[in-house]
Amino acid sequence: MKVLLLKNIGTIISGDIKDPIIFHNAIRVEDGKIAKVFTFQDGDTISADQVIDCDGATVTPGLIDSHCHNVLMDYSPRQQQIGFLESAVHGGVTTFISAGEVHLPGRPKDPAGVKALAILASKSFENFRPGGAKVIGGAVILEKGLREEDFKEMAREGVRLVGEIGLGSVKDPEDAAPMVRWAKASGMLVMMHTGGTSIPGSTTVTADMVMRTDPDVVSHINGGPTAISYSEAEKLVSETNLTLEIVHCGNPKMAVNVMNLCLRKKTLGRIIIGNDAPSGTGIVPLGILRTVCHLASLTDLSPESAICMATGNTGRAFKLECGRILPGKPADLVVMDAPMGSVGTSALEAIKAGDVPAVAMVLVDGKIVVNKSRNTPPAVRKPQVV
C-alpha cells in the first residue's frame, strides 16, 4: 500500500457546497484514494511513502470542466491546437466532461456513424489521460434516425452522455424528448444547448424548448456564446430543478445576473461551471479558474462556494466519484495559493479580489501530475515534497 501525506494545509475546501470548509490541516492518501482528513501536529509520527508540505496553502478537490468539446487525442480540430487538455491541467482541472465531439472534421450524421463516434471516443479516453487528467468522452450528438435500441447499445459499450441537444439534426422538443427518455432509461445523462446559435447547423434554444425536452443539464445558461434573455433564465431557475451550467466562453453579464438570481433563490447547489472550449472564443486553459474568480469577485458568492460549484456540484450532477475531499474518494487534489503580487493573502482572498490563484501542485489519484503550474503566476507559499 502506497501512502501519501499532505500536511501543513492552510485551508481545505471540501467540495460540498453545504459545508465548504474542512477545519483540519492534513490529508492521508492510500493507494490513490483519500483515507482520512485530520489535524496533524508537529511531533506526530509520520508513516508515509511521500510527504507534501503545503506550507499553509489551500487544498481543493481537482476542478471538473463540465463542458469540453474534445474530439480524439489531445488535439482540437476547431482551433488546430495540440495539448489543450494537458494545458488545462496546469489550471487545476483534473476531469473533463465531453459535451459532444461535434468538431470532428467530416463528423458522421447517420445513426451508425454517431454511435460509432461516441463509442470510439468513450473507449479511447478510458485508456488515455492527457496530462494525467480523466476525460469522460463520447457524448453522442442526437441525429434523426436514432432508435431506443441504439441508446441501449451505446450504454452497454460505456457511453454515459448525450451531448448538447441542438448541435445535431434533432432540435425540436417533439423529436428530442423521446430520445431523452430512451437515453435516461439507459442510464445516460443529457445536456442541452441553451441560448443563441453557436455554430453552423446548430439552433437557438429557448427556455420553453428546454423544459419540454427535459434534459439533466442546462448547458451554458449564460450563453454559448449568446445568452437567452434574463426572463428566460429566470424561468429555468424558478420553474425547474435542472442543473444550471455557467461557462467561461459565454456572456459575462448574464453569468453575474444568473448568479445573483441563484443567490436570492438559494439554489447554489444546482450550479456547475464549465469552459465550453475549444470554441470560437478559443482555448482558455484557465477558463474554470477564471469563471470561479468572475463569479466570486463580482457577486456576493463566497470563493469557497464558487470552488464547490466547479468540483462537488459537477461531480454530483454527473454521478462521478471525484469532486469531494472525503474518505474513499479519488485523491484528485489541487494545492493553490495567492499569486505573487495579489492583494489577497490566500487563494480564497485572491479569488474574492478577482485574481486567478496560483496553482502550486496538481494530483490525480494521489500522483503529482503538475509540480508548479506553467499557466498561473507563481505562488507566495512554496508547497513541496519533503
pLDDT given for residue 266 in this prediction: 97
Q: Is 45 found in the same domain as 69?
A: no
Looking at the structure, do residues 83 and 70 belong to the same domain, yes or no?
A: yes
**23, 117: one domain:** no
What is the extent of the structural domain holding 240? 63-285
- Binned at pLDDT 50, 70 and 90, residue 204 comes out as confident
Query: What mean pLDDT is predicted for residues 341-345?
Result: 98
Portion of the chain with pLDDT greater than 90, in percent: 95
> Could you tell me the three cell numbers for 181?
427518455
Same-domain check for residues 50 and 68: no
With respect to residue 296, please indicate whether it lies within any of the assigned structural domains: no
Residue 200 has pLDDT above 80, yes or no: no
Pair (221, 85) in one structural domain: yes
- Average pLDDT (8-18) is 98
Sequence-separated (6 or more) residues with CB below 8 Å from residue 31: 1, 2, 366
Rounded to the nearest 5 degrees, what angle is found at the Cα of 137, between the Cα atoms of 133 and 139? 150
Query: What is the pLDDT confidence band of residue 44, given thresholds at 50, 70 and 90?
Result: confident
Same domain, 75 and 56: no
The predicted pLDDT at position 201 comes to 57
Which residues are CB-contacts of 149 (< 8 A; sequence separation ≥ 6)? none
CA distances from 38 to 6, 245, 385 (A): 10, 33, 19
Take residue 266 and report the three cell numbers written for it.
438559494
User: Out of 42-51, 330-339, 354-363, 372-381, which region has the weakest mean confidence (pLDDT)?
Assistant: 42-51
239-258 per-position pLDDT tens digit: 999 999 999 999 999 999 99
Query: At residue 306, what is the residue type?
Result: A
pLDDT at residue 202, as a whole number: 58
Are 214 and 177 a contacting pair, CB within 8 Å? yes
pLDDT beyond 60 at 57: yes
Asked if 379 and 44 count as a contact pair (C-beta separation under 8 A), the reply is: no
Domain boundary among 285, 315, 344: 285
Residue that wins the pLDDT comparison between 322 and 46 = 322
Is a pLDDT exceeding 90 seen at residue 298?
yes
End position of a domain, from candidates 255, 285, 315: 285
CATH code, domain with 358 = 2.30.40.10
Q: Assess contact for 261 and 233: CB atoms under 8 A.
A: yes
Q: How many CB atoms lie within 10 A of CB 106?
A: 7
pLDDT at position 197 over 80: no
For the cut 70, the answer to whether the pLDDT of residue 203 exceeds it is no
Q: Is the pLDDT of residue 271 over 80?
A: yes
Is 339:378 a contact under the CB 8 Å cutoff? yes
Residues 134 and 256 in one domain: yes
Question: Any residues with CB less than 8 A from the CB of 22 and at least 6 apart, and which?
Answer: 12, 13, 14, 37, 325
pLDDT > 70: percent of the chain? 98
If you average pLDDT over residues 65-73, what whole number do you get? 97
Question: Which residues 6+ apart lie within 8 Å of 338 measured at CB?
Answer: 344, 345, 346, 347, 349, 350, 355, 357, 358, 379, 380, 381
Residues 50, 337 contacting (CB under 8 angstroms):
no
CB 110 within 8 A of CB 309: no
